[in-house]
Structure 1
Amino acid sequence: MNKYLLTIFTLFIAMSGFAESPDSTEIAIKEIEQSLQYQTGTIKLKEGHGTLIVPKGFHFLDQEQSKYVLSDLWGNPEDNTIIGMLFPIHVGVLDDHSWGFTISYDPMGYVKDDDANTINYDDLLASNKKDILAENQERLNSGYGTIELIGWASTPYYDSNKKVLHWAKEIKFDGDSANTLNYNLRVLGREGIYLVNAVASMDELPEVNKNLDQLIASVQFDNGYKYEDYTDGDQIASWTVGGLVAGKILAKTGFFAAILKFWKIIAVGIAGGFSFLWKKIRGRNENDTIEAPTKPIQEENDEDSTKS
């Protein structure tokens, strides 16, 4: 639990006598859900010369609203690299089984895929486990719990025809009873890559797998910026396909965790005695003068360059 949520929880305990009934919590949650402005259809992505064709059964939140969900509602540190999120239409962002995909872009250049068939994924897994253990102290210093890499939830696979790399890790956050799914998709282009990451628990892995094919097809580079549009003289990325999977998991950002059950408890206090916190959550577009406790910076992408 990070310092931001711990502070809110402490305030909630102190003011619990003022909390209203669970009905007030449900009303508060419903208002938040109704405030989100989802999009469907074809969406021009803000970065990377690409287009998102929202898959059937999903809807899209833009950059600002995605940051609101990830940081204000789910308790993650802000990540300005996120350009949007996809959510299943049948699950609200504050439901117990909420999950979604973050989308970001890294202009790292053209990623060579010559080593795709020579990667030893067992060695990569062992290396990643050591990296995470080494970086846990920085997480603790930033006010966050430690992380343990349990293993592959899905072994890395590179589709050389579609130029898409994907893999999944099972992550254990300190103090959590359920493990987190860290599912990564990398769509390769001429000048960089789109990073699509599942923000989910391990329970949602079957749902993620079921929607994987249409998700891969939904993120497309525009003509002239596709992988096959490479020409001599274009920037070459320092990463290869193998390097994308092997990239260090830095402790500043990277693994998102949705603290949904804890949020439900907080919401009771908000609906009751915590009007200033409720205004913070509702009033991103209002001129509120009361600020929530400052959140420390957390993690980073698997590459140097994105639920608990």
Structure 2
Amino acid sequence: MSLKSIALGLLAGVAVLVAPSVRADDEQAGMTAEQFIQSLDFRHGTITVGQAKAHFNLDDQFLYLDQADARRVLEDMWGNPPDESVLGLIVPRSPALTDDDSWAVVVTYSDDGYVSDEDASKIDYSELLQTMQEEIRDGNPERVKAGYGSLDLVGWAVPPRYDAGSKKMYWARELAFNDQDHHTLNYDIRVLGRGGYLSLNAVAGMNSLDTVRAGMERLLPMTEFDAGARYADHNPSTDKIAAYGVASLIGGGLAAKAGLFAKLGLVLAKFWKLLLVGLVLLGGGLKKVFGGKDKPTVR
């Protein structure tokens, strides 16, 4: 099965099948892949994310696109619907954005408030996985009836781990859409701060697990909140407190709001943001659309 077929199967599990092509507006019509990539403002080094009061100290393995260019890639290049919650995109220098095995990390921020980590040491991740699997399976008849296809959580691709010292949690899930043989990797990082948490999310094929895992582990220590916005800066008498704890972050906060993956609408809303990056698997199709390779410019 081709990577394009895998990606089409992936998108069958969500709401809309979107073609990965540049929008036909005057500015971008007729662009080659190289022209489009060259038009992006890739940054490196210390990156400030003002909306989240956070920053990245990127090494020479990563590049960064600010909100506007990140959305151009996600929406114009990969065909995703508009999403104002996207703050940026972290892109490995290799593979290139238009390569078949490319991947990228979507940066978002939740301002739900200070997330207590008091329950972190008590989480039974095996039990949590089983609960999530059951909830997803129970919701499949409704998803299929609604035309979204089936979704199954195969298991942990990387078991959840919470570092109490750095206030960072990471995990990866192996997902199957419509009983396809080729499964999808969903790799997440959550960084806790004073007023909420920073989310870093990457999606790829399971065959890219080693590459994505190495990249995300490398990225983990490069992500920090600014002074005054760190978890340790929390003021219990004035700060907003999130209505859920660390365990709920693995479900994107769904556990606290609607039951773990229980309601179709919320499932799609959450997974839509998490999984649309899977369109990157259509890189081979992009080459046909744009007709060229990319060599990012960096400033």
TM-score by length of 2: 0.75
Are residue 251 (structure 1) and residue 256 (structure 2) matched? no
Q: Which has the larger radius of gyration?
A: 1
% identity of equivalent residues: 32
| Paired position in structure 1 for 2:66 | 62
Aligned length: 254
Correspondence for 1:28 among 27, 32, 35: 32
Partner SS, residue 208 of structure 2: helix
| Paired position in structure 2 for 1:95 | 99
Which is worse superposed, 129-138 or 149-158? 129-138
Do the aligned residues in 2 keep the contact of 1:46 with 1:83 (CA within 8 Å)?
no
Do the aligned residues in 2 keep the contact of 1:43 with 1:53 (CA within 8 Å)?
yes
The alpha-carbon deviation at position 149 of structure 1 amounts to 0.9
| Paired position in structure 2 for 1:78 | 82
| Paired position in structure 1 for 2:54 | 50
Counterpart-to-counterpart distance in 2, 1:145 and 1:37: 37
The alpha-carbon deviation at position 266 of structure 1 amounts to 6.6
Correspondence for 2:212 among 208, 211, 217: 208
Correspondence for 2:284 among 260, 264, 287: 264
Partner SS, residue 238 of structure 1: strand
Alignment of 1:102-251 (within 5 A): 102-136=106-140, 144-174=148-178, 177-233=181-237, 234-246=239-251, 247=255, 248-249=260-261, 250-251=267-268
1:228-268, Cα deviation, whole Å (9 max, x unpaired) = 11122122111111122243341123232433565634764
The alpha-carbon deviation at position 172 of structure 1 amounts to 1.5
The alpha-carbon deviation at position 120 of structure 1 amounts to 1.2
Counterpart-to-counterpart distance in 1, 2:214 and 2:183: 20
- Larger RCO of the pair (alpha carbons < 8 Å, separation 6+): 2
Partner SS, residue 87 of structure 2: strand
The alpha-carbon deviation at position 65 of structure 1 amounts to 2.2
Structure 1 alignment gaps of length 5 or more: 9-24, 272-308
Counterpart-to-counterpart distance in 1, 2:177 and 2:36: 27
Do the aligned residues in 2 keep the contact of 1:79 with 1:253 (CA within 8 Å)?
no
Counterpart-to-counterpart distance in 1, 2:20 and 2:221: 42
Counterpart-to-counterpart distance in 1, 2:144 and 2:78: 19
Counterpart-to-counterpart distance in 1, 2:58 and 2:286: 32
Counterpart-to-counterpart distance in 1, 2:56 and 2:269: 28
Counterpart-to-counterpart distance in 2, 1:7 and 1:37: 21
1:41-94, Cα deviation, whole Å (9 max, x unpaired) = 212103121112223301011222222323333344433211011111122212
Structure 2 alignment gaps of length 5 or more: 1-7, 22-29, 262-266, 292-299
**Aligned amino acid, residue 43 of structure 1:** I
Do the aligned residues in 1 keep the contact of 2:153 with 2:175 (CA within 8 Å)?
yes
